Amino acid sequence: MSIEQAQREIVDEFSLFDDWMDRYQYLIDLGRKLPELPEEEKTDDRLLDGCQSQVWLITEGDAGHLEFRANSDAAIVSGLIALILRVYSGRSAREILDSEPVFVREIGLSQHLSPTRANGLNAMLGEIRRQAELAQATNNR
């Protein structure tokens, strides 16, 4: 499944909910399904700046295939992480860099997240992009 297909699937899922309370609950449910990170992986160097809640992001792989694992101490943020991982984990750096997170706008996250959660979402998306850029640069050496 391509990034575009993954995003379309997310948009389709969220369109099933009539109001934002149901969408928030769905995000919380998605976050609960995220695998926990072992405590030894929750280190300060993996903690994202720009997030009010604690978000740990682990990147593995190379430009041809990047895997991301992440978790948060906040329920809705964990749900946002689940969406981001679904779209970007397991992709090449080039695929990541060539795509925009259109699902954020299309499901209404831009309008319905608090400013602090929106900043955190942007920080997560920015870090995914930064990791893809680093992998791509390493690959081009």
Which of the following is catalytic: 10, 51, 76, 121?
Answer: 51
Six-digit token string for 35? 């695998």
Is 92 catalytic? The answer is: no
- The C-alpha atoms of residue 129 and residue 115 are separated, in whole angstroms, by 21
- The C-alpha atoms of residue 6 and residue 87 are separated, in whole angstroms, by 6
Q: Which of 37, 77, 79 is nearest to 60 (CA)?
A: 37
Query: Catalytic positions, please?
Result: 51
